[in-house]
Amino acid sequence: MTALNAELLDLPELDFASADYAARPFQTLAGWAQRWKIARSRRGVEILDYDLCRRAILDRRLGTGHPKLMDVLGLPEGRPLEYKRNSISFFNRGDRRRDLRRPMTRLMSEGGIEAFRADIIATVRRVVDAVPTDQPVDLITALCDPIPSAIYCYWIGAPFEDADFVARTSHSVQQVHTRNPDHTPEIIAAFEALIDYADKHIAARREHLGDDLLSDMIRAEQDGQLDGDDLRNWVIKLAEANTDNSSHQIALAIIELASRPKVWARLHDDPALVPQAVREVMRFHPRTISTSREVLEEHQIAGVTLPKGTPVFANIGATHWDERYYAAPAAFDIDRTDEPPHMNFGGGVFSCIGRFAVTAEVEEVIRLLSARHPALKVDEARFAHSPMFSLVTRLTARLSP
């Protein structure tokens, strides 16, 4: 973190390495939020208040913190850094970011993903069909990783068997968010592999356009909505953000829902409840705990002056447990109504392009598992929680007793 001025140094300091945060991250965040609206930590300024977080996500004076993240990692000159500089992650609010988002926002809109839902269902079914039902299974490797990576393969016309490669490289490049330079060699190697992989499949798909997402992206390029570099960068970006985030959110949904037998039985009896159950999972135990920004021009938040370049983190994990907006927030309740939507996918021009795809993937996994395996039993679930993310480090279950 950059040097802090006296005003920022006066803020209370949060310790994300504390035993309390490791054991009870959301309760700890909620407790901090009850005491302070804004604080600081080793990584930057921490916003804990619901209203301030929502404003920060949309505030035009706050931009992407990704360029500074590359500096922290010490990413050297080369193809991976060149890709990052030209991908949407590096662009703040304005014409360039708008132009990059526009065709993908249309292709991956709620309606766009609904057009793919039948294929998502088929992919989920294919993966689940291969999972043993008569013994304890590591669901991360057998189900949670393969589903989003196999759907990505479907999107770009790659063979189903490439799903393992996509999963491994997605996990590796997501190490950028650890802010740990020790992971830089792994990150570089994974990006190099993804760049070659994207080039290969774009070239192949240009020869034979089809009904998949990559074909639609190429058509958008042909219509002048994207140029060749933008197309390539989006194919890489979809792989970069795909498996790691989706896999953990699928695992979180299985754990939170199947570990509550009464809820799981309700989903088995009434599949129409699945979407609202998934929404509650994303509120109660989201994959994304905070989202990063950087101050573009000096301004104040909660009366505190933030100099240009200050890293800022909106702690949405705290907002989801705010009693002013969510009744009994520590209670898991799939019947919540008239409460704000979760902020798991950010908002505005920084909202997650793939939010509808991820949600559909999680819904279809839960819908199929609860229908087929009403007695599914989670044998072991382990978590790790960084300041940024919820991670499922272990998930073993028996699909049938």
**What is the spatial distance between Cα 359 and Cα 94, in angstroms, rounded to a whole number?**
28
Any domain includes 84: yes
Diameter over CA atoms, the chain: 61
Evaluate whether residue 184 is within a structural domain: yes
| Per-residue pLDDT, 1 | 46
Residue 92's Cβ-side half-sphere holds a number of Cα atoms within 13 Å equal to 15
- Cβ atoms of 339 and 327 within 8 Å: the answer is yes
Domain encompassing residue 23:
6-398
Answer yes or no: is 152 within a domain.
Answer: yes
Residue at 1 is within a domain:
no
Q: In this structure, is residue 334 part of a structural domain?
A: yes
Burial class (CB in 10 A: 0-12, 13-18, 19+), 362: buried
How many domains are contained in the chain? 1
> Which DSSP state fits 303?
T
Is 352 inside any structural domain? yes
Distance CA 374, CA 266 (A): 10
Please say whether the beta carbons of 38 and 51 come within 8 A: no
What residue type is 339 in one-letter code? Answer: E
Q: Is the pTM of this model over 0.85?
A: yes
Exposure on the CB side of residue 77, measured as CA atoms within 13 A: 0
Does 285 fall in a domain? yes
Which pLDDT does position 3 carry in this prediction?
Answer: 55
Assess contact for 250 and 365: CB atoms under 8 A.
Answer: yes
Query: For position 81, which CATH number holds?
Result: 1.10.630.10
Per run of 10 residues, the mean pLDDT along the chain (length 401 residues) is 72 96 96 97 95 92 80 90 88 83 91 92 96 94 95 94 93 85 93 95 94 94 94 92 87 98 98 98 96 91 93 96 95 95 86 92 98 96 94 95 71
Q: Is residue 262 part of a domain?
A: yes
